[in-house]
Amino acid sequence: MSPFPAASSAADARPLRLSARFACGALLLLMAGCQSPSPRATQPVAAPVPPAVPAAPQPVQQPAPTAADAVKPNPDSVATVPEPKVAADPWRNLRDRLIAERCDQPRQQHFIKRYAGNPERFQARLSSYAPVLHYVAERAAERQLPAAVALVPIVESTYQGYPGRGQRPAGMWQLIPSTARSVGLTVHGGNDQRLDTARATAAALTLFERLLQRFDGQLALALAAYNAGDGRVARAISKHPQRRPRDLPLSRITIDYLDKIDALSCLLADPPRYGFNLPPMPEGAQLVEVELDFPADAAQLAMELNTDATLLRRYNGAIRGPQTRPAGHRWLLPKGVTAAVASLDAGAVAPATTSVATSASTVGVHVVESGDNLWTLARRYGVTVNELRQWNGLSKQSLLRIGQRLRLTP
């Protein structure tokens, strides 16, 4: 959480054209050779013995071109045949940029076990947000920011766009309103751009650029400032200028924050060591930004694009809470479905005007699912545990039941 305002198919034809040019060039060279002696012949050659019987001239037989001729152009030719472009492996790009340090230290080992003590579960969770992780990693690389910045939303929210309430943090970057506004986001009424994955990511990366500039490019200090506030970190440095970041008088929560980023770096840099596999990331699943000039409902949009509604909501900061996004929202969509965007009907993806606004049976209600507890629900919906207890008549000893309906408002 950042609790402070920031400081101030033509290519396929080319080999064929090149092969034809090469064949013509070869023929011209052959004809020229018949007209004049080769300037490179420096050794004397014995005169040929005339044949006993004159022979009629025979036509020169040119060898038939082979497939190899088509792909082996004259090396002296100006034109070149480009190598086939291989799609970049986003996991390799991320791992090559990660710096895995202190992987065998006790605190890092502690958080490695917390995240991946059950490797299968960790792999499943990683699969659910991997496209957004790679989207953020690519944006960070474009700005030449450390790859570890892309791991921050895992620590903050597991890449889930939690809605906020009042001055509480919101979105997968968990920005408080004042910080969000300081980096250009709108947080007003029904337009909370902290839930816009593309815009919020751009804003968070701008914030990290400022923090790295303020703290002389030291990633650990920038991460600590993102968690605790740049003023607090700056004061700790002024009192203890010779100390390393982890030795500064900062809260245990902030030091744990640094250790969690280290642990995640270790896990993603060497998955086999920790017993899990990185999920496949085909090009069609990678995300691109598509800005719609009309409001849309995530579930309706997913239906029209024939894609998974739960994943689409997650990619766009709507895993919980409202799933409607206003006109101008930069939707993150898998590359494999973007061709269908041009034919979208605005009416088909428009937000419903009745169920969300007028149905009292569905407003502010959560149906308990397996794994839910009051603490996670309170964080998810931007309320407190005590408020959930009060609104639902629960005591500290009350147990939640699957299917139970909980009020999320007074």
List residues with catalytic annotation.
156
Dihedral (CA of 294, 296, 300, 302) sign? positive
Cα 389 from Cα 410, distance rounded (Å): 11
Burial class (CB in 10 A: 0-12, 13-18, 19+), 395: exposed
Three-state SS for 388? Answer: helix
Place of tokens 């008088």: 249
Cα 275 from Cα 280, distance rounded (Å): 16
The CA-based angle 358-361-366, given to 5 degrees, is 115
Q: Are 261 and 151 in contact (CB under 8 A)?
A: yes
Strands 324-325 and 405-407 turn out to be unpaired
Q: Are 287 and 201 in contact (CB under 8 A)?
A: no
Burial class (CB in 10 A: 0-12, 13-18, 19+), 356: middle
Dihedral (CA of 9, 14, 19, 20) sign? positive
Which residues on neighbouring strands pair with residue 296, listed in sequence order?
Answer: 325
Longest dimension (CA), the chain: 120
Give the long-range contacts of residues 109-113, CB within 8 A, separation 24 or more: 109/263, 110/259, 110/263, 111/256, 111/259, 111/260, 111/262, 111/263, 111/264, 112/263, 112/266, 112/267, 112/274
Three-state SS for 187? Answer: strand
Q: Are 367 and 401 in contact (CB under 8 A)?
A: no
Structure tokens at 24: 């013509």
Closest CA to 9 of 82, 118, 73, 58: 82
